[in-house]
Structure 1
């Protein structure tokens, strides 16, 4: 590591900026946000830069640079288009042992500007030491995506109440308290924009912590999407990184599961056809028990937890037990798989409505409002319908849908193993056998399926 990352306190400190154009103005904006008093030297100075100087209670000189301008400066930046002037500034500043930055010239710098992620009081600097500034900016973009905008409000709340917490709790317990605040329901409410509610919960907890620490248990019900990890929400990813233990389903892809915090305990509670590893009631109770142990429990489900995912039942039990919880929606299989297969769920020429239907057999039968389903102008999406596919296609034809109605099976949709098998109501059941289609597979029926060849963009692997 050639450059040591440091945080300078520049509030009201004189910072000398040589240059008056666009590059100098960009640097001035950063210095001004940090509270610096700007001193600018350049024969020509832009209007915005003049205003920044005025706002910082600094001064500017419409003059060529000379070494006397260094007197009193605490930090120096050269941002001119004249290489000789930049070199002179670097030489003179080094002679006076002043920190100096020359834009786009790492060899002339004693410090460099990192790519900065800013969330109120929180700032993150990503530096390549001038070796690869574009790469540093790309990394910054990744951090920008991961960090909630509400982090700023959370940091400001902590700053506002820091002294109050310090007065109530001894040093040995303050760290645990703040850990609870930043990873529990207080943080969730503040980041969701409910700052007042979060502050009230923090203060209430603070009084309880006077006697004994809070257990801090919480449940995160998170939709993991249909398989492609790129389809996760940012909020889902943040909670996946906070969890102490994860309960996950069979439909959660390996790539998504790999994004869970590495040291989190993992408990498989998935269900397979004709085999239930953990009954639903036991899953519900396990979520409560783990949270009562003070753990942050991630319930990770494929697709969206509230669309044929029994998430409502789980949250009902958690709420009944008085356990704090958060719910994060995920892209449901109908949306993700159809998109990757090039099958729009609605289309002006083919379907003006869409219905999501469970195709799961109960006691060997599939009882559905077939007459309502077998109407033109709508798309039917069957979840868990592979076993009952012959029944589905037969009943729809019996109730009026034309036998040649397009139909498709999407196996392992959105993943690298995705396959799309296209036929119609008469041929699809046999195609499923011939092509050895396996679960998880989604069934889509309707005129929109005919657009698959034209619109699909995700290449099938088989």
Structure 2
């Protein structure tokens, strides 16, 4: 017997939005500890790639006559890699076809396209992923701008279109990620197996890690934090009634950039998202990937325009222990249907939260938003 009512989206013509928009490239994170990699060339650009690979723990084989190594490269080899397993092995010779066997990847700093093509084809023939510095036509993969809070690593790519933009994005992210994030990530690695063995996959485990993530952005881990985290895990392991909650979120005028932070947090914590036909794919892109998405009509239900079906669905889902987000365009705090929904849900003993949407409707005459018009009017009064 079905517990939940049949989704209203079954009868609608609008296709379900894609969970992932088109990607220019696939971002991957490649463990290189103790793996051999090849660097051909001795320039500063080659040195930067060599330093990056050694910082990942790779065994970096550098092929270049010693006279061709830049001062930067010589200093790097003398200093060694940042990773405990990273090291440099210098071969005082130019590269040749026999150097690629067993390598995880190959990086070439080539003088011209002819040399680049030869290096590219030799690496490919050996089955080794290859990148020729500053020659995109001879690259099977790319390096992005990196934010290093290892084990937290953020990489930014513009698919080669705007490297300066990628660097600007990296600087912005650097300011948003507190240095303590790396310490919290190390703690997460240490306790992960214990948490996953004590808390079954589901609401309790997700609540634990969400609270953990909140701390990572607000606090510096203090002595004894693991003990306190284990105490919290024990409390969450006690079975509780599976009672969910409903959050009614306003999407405002439809621009994803105008969503409030609270709205984004609700979308990223949802188990199920009910949304109307005016919600853009850009807004839905901000939701948790695993969340079930159900398209409904704002006027679905009885002929008198009430919302019986959608309200019943929210009740059933929340009673099943789901965290439900009702995502609707505009501002639900001024929508008469919201009052009806709250009454229905509260009558069933369910928690309801309202996240207002920004009201910024464009003026037909001037193109100004209501916010801009209010600001202009205030300025006129002052003048």
Q: What TM-score do the two structures reach when normalised by structure 2?
A: 0.56
Q: Which runs of 4+ in 1 moved over 6 A?
A: 1-4, 139-144, 214-220, 222-229
Residue 190 (structure 1) shift: 1.8
Contact 2:64 2:93 in 1 (8 A): yes
- Alignment partner, residue 160 of structure 1: 190
Larger radius of gyration: 1
- Is 2:115 aligned against 1:81? no
- Alignment partner, residue 13 of structure 2: none
- Alignment partner, residue 190 of structure 1: 216
- Is 2:54 aligned against 1:42? no
Q: Which whole-Å CA distance do the structure 2 matches of 1:47 and 1:188 have between them?
A: 45
Per mean C-alpha deviation after superposition, the further-off stretch among 4-13 and 31-40 is 4-13
SS in 2 for 1:17: strand
- Is 2:370 aligned against 1:412? yes
- Is 2:333 aligned against 1:270? yes
SS in 1 for 2:371: coil
Residue 105 (structure 1) shift: 3.3
Residue 77 (structure 1) shift: 0.7
- Is 2:42 aligned against 1:20? yes
> CA deviation digits over 1:241-277, x for unaligned, max 9?
32549xxxxxxxx99x9577476214865359xx9x8
Residue 159 (structure 1) shift: 0.8
Q: For 1:69-218, what aligned pairs fall within 5 Å after superposition?
A: 69-70=99-100, 73-114=103-144, 119-123=149-153, 132-134=159-161, 149=177, 152-169=182-199, 173-174=200-201, 176-183=203-210, 185-196=211-222, 202-212=229-239
Cα distance, 1:133–1:232 mapped onto 2, change above 3 Å? same
Cα distance, 1:189–1:124 mapped onto 2, change above 3 Å? closer
Q: For 1:338-349, what aligned pairs fall within 5 Å after superposition?
A: none
Residue 161 (structure 1) shift: 0.4
Instruction: Choose between structure 1 and 2 for higher RCO, CA contacts under 8 A separated by at least 6 residues.
Output: 2
Q: Which whole-Å CA distance do the structure 1 matches of 2:51 and 2:262 have between them?
A: 34
SS in 1 for 2:230: helix
Q: For 1:323-402, what aligned pairs fall within 5 Å after superposition?
A: none
Residue 180 (structure 1) shift: 1.9
Q: Which whole-Å CA distance do the structure 2 matches of 1:141 and 1:28 have between them?
A: 23
Q: Which whole-Å CA distance do the structure 1 matches of 2:129 and 2:64 have between them?
A: 20
Contact 1:117 1:140 in 2 (8 A): no
Q: Which whole-Å CA distance do the structure 2 matches of 1:60 and 1:258 have between them?
A: 51
- Alignment partner, residue 348 of structure 1: none
Cα distance, 1:238–1:52 mapped onto 2, change above 3 Å? farther
- Runs of 5+ consecutive residues of structure 1 not aligned to the other structure: 246-253, 304-332, 334-409, 422-442, 451-462
Cα distance, 1:269–1:8 mapped onto 2, change above 3 Å? closer
Cα distance, 1:59–1:15 mapped onto 2, change above 3 Å? same
Contact 1:411 1:419 in 2 (8 A): no
Contact 1:14 1:38 in 2 (8 A): yes
- Alignment partner, residue 16 of structure 2: none
- Alignment partner, residue 96 of structure 2: 66
Q: Which whole-Å CA distance do the structure 2 matches of 1:60 and 1:231 have between them?
A: 53
- Runs of 5+ consecutive residues of structure 2 not aligned to the other structure: 1-22, 272-278, 288-292, 295-324, 361-367
Q: Which whole-Å CA distance do the structure 2 matches of 1:51 and 1:65 have between them?
A: 21
> CA deviation digits over 1:176-223, x for unaligned, max 9?
44422333x332122212434975664233112333168798999x99
Contact 2:208 2:233 in 1 (8 A): no
Residue 17 (structure 1) shift: 0.8
Q: Which whole-Å CA distance do the structure 2 matches of 1:79 and 1:243 have between them?
A: 46
Contact 1:227 1:302 in 2 (8 A): no
- Alignment partner, residue 364 of structure 1: none
- Alignment partner, residue 55 of structure 2: 33
